[in-house]
């Protein structure tokens, strides 16, 4: 129970789908046995009881279904303790003890994921990761022995959706500038042409925010173009909008890592918008307002839908920061085909990363 609480605390509400210590055989599991196989709960687990599956050449496994509405498109991770006693492979390479996930597609083909074991081995942690296709209609997790002989024990099983904290949508195809400049007001370099007053100190790589992970591209990739910075009154020569970025994901929530320059947060003027097009052609516009959804990079503050997720000093010694705004998608069942960023033309919008959550 302590482990469960810790796991939930680490992963937040997203993440753990279920845990099973096999003190009893929970109703979620269906038994599938052919021949002389046995399914038992016995003492001697890593903790308390465990699941003991024996096979004599046929099938011995327990199965549970994962809701495709929830987990199609997810990355499912199965971690558990496994002990093996004289497991001998059957005729085919897949005839072993295993963790197995089968995802059935609309055309009835099954995509299989498995971690397989043979032999005799004391308790050891085993892991299976499965990228469930977006169009999976049925998802089944099996623990057991297929067409082999021997005994496998399972305990301390944790099934997680590691997609819980989101996946990045790469903005690189629509990035036009970088996070650093060099010499101010020389009409060259990058960012806002403000010299060391830039966002170079924003760490590259994963930016972990409670509930969301953003990916900030390294400064050197994409010919230094790592963010989208659009036109404003102070930078009239920047593009007013980006091309549509192909996205092609189903999402419940979009999370934007963004900031601005010279935006009037007191006046709460429009700063930028994300225009999305769904797979069925319908469109939606997500308006971002200064002082509500977005702050200025050199005046890091929080507003109603602007959570300050990173701040630090830049090369000019100024305190700078970036914020997160989130948008709840009213149509999570329809794929988002593309996303385009459009400036409102006043302050200069700066978009650094976008991630999406399925929940």
- What are the residues binding Ca ion (CB under 5 A)? 21-22, 45, 47-48, 155, 181, 183, 186, 188-189, 193
We find the least distance from the C-beta atom of residue 196 to Ca ion, in angstroms, to be 10
Nearer to Ca ion, 8 or 42 (CB): 42
We find the least distance from the C-beta atom of residue 238 to Ca ion, in angstroms, to be 14
> Angle at the Cα of 45 (from 42 to 49), degrees rounded to 5?
45
We find the least distance from the C-beta atom of residue 30 to Ca ion, in angstroms, to be 20
CA 163 to chain centre: 4
The token pair at 260 is: 């601005």
The CA distance from 183 to 195, in Å, is 4
We find the least distance from the C-beta atom of residue 157 to Ca ion, in angstroms, to be 9
* Ramachandran sector of residue 15 (left: φ over 0; alpha: ψ -120 to 50; beta: rest): left
Nearer to Ca ion, 183 or 267 (CB): 183
The CA distance from 276 to 279, in Å, is 10
The answer to whether residues 311 and 320 touch, using CB atoms and an 8 Å cutoff, is yes
Residue 122, burial from CB neighbour count under 10 angstroms (0-12, 13-18, 19+): exposed
Nearer to Ca ion, 161 or 181 (CB): 181
Minimal CA–CA distance to 177: which of 269, 244, 242? 242
Nearer to Ca ion, 153 or 327 (CB): 153
Nearer to Ca ion, 62 or 292 (CB): 62
Residue, CB closest to Ca ion: 189
The token pair at 11 is: 């992963």
We find the least distance from the C-beta atom of residue 355 to Ca ion, in angstroms, to be 30
């Amino acid at each position: 129970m302590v482990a469960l609480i810790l796991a939930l605390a680490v992963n937040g509400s997203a993440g753990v789908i279920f845990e099973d210590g096999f003190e009893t055989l929970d109703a979620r599991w269906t038994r599938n046995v052919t021949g002389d196989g046995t399914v038992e709960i016995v003492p001697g687990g890593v903790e308390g009881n465990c699941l003991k599956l024996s096979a004599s050449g046929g099938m011995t496994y327990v199965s549970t279904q994962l809701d495709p509405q929830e987990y199609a498109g997810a990355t499912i991770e199965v971690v558990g303790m496994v002990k093996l006693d004289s497991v001998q492979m059957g005729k085919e390479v897949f005839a072993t003890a295993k963790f197995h996930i089968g995802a059935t597609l609309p055309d009835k083909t099954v995509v299989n994921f498995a971690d397989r074991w043979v032999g005799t081995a004391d308790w050891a942690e085993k892991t299976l990761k499965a990228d469930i296709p977006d169009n999976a209609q049925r998802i089944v997790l099996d623990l057991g022995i297929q067409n082999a002989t021997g005994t496998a024990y399972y305990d301390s099983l944790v099934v997680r959706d590691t997609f819980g904290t989101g996946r990045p949508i790469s903005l690189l195809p629509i990035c036009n500038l970088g996070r650093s400049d060099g010499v101010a007001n020389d009409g060259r370099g990058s960012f806002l042409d403000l010299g060391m007053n830039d966002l170079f100190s924003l760490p590259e790589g994963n930016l972990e925010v409670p509930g969301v992970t953003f990916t900030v591209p390294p400064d050197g990739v994409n010919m230094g173009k790592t963010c989208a910075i659009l036109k404003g009154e102070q930078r009239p020569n920047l593009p007013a909008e980006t091309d549509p970025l192909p996205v092609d994901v189903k999402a419940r929530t979009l999370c934007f890592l963004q900031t601005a320059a010279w935006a009037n947060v007191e006046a709460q003027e429009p700063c930028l918008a994300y225009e999305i097009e769904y797979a069925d052609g319908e469109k939606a516009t997500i308006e971002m307002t200064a002082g509500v959804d977005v702050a200025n990079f050199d005046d890091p503050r929080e507003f109603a839908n602007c959570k300050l997720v990173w701040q630090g000093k830049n090369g000019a010694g100024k305190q700078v920061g970036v914020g997160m705004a989130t948008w709840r998608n009213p149509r999570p069942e329809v794929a988002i085909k593309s996303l385009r960023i459009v400036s409102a033309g006043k302050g200069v919008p700066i978009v650094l990363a976008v991630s999406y959550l399925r929940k």
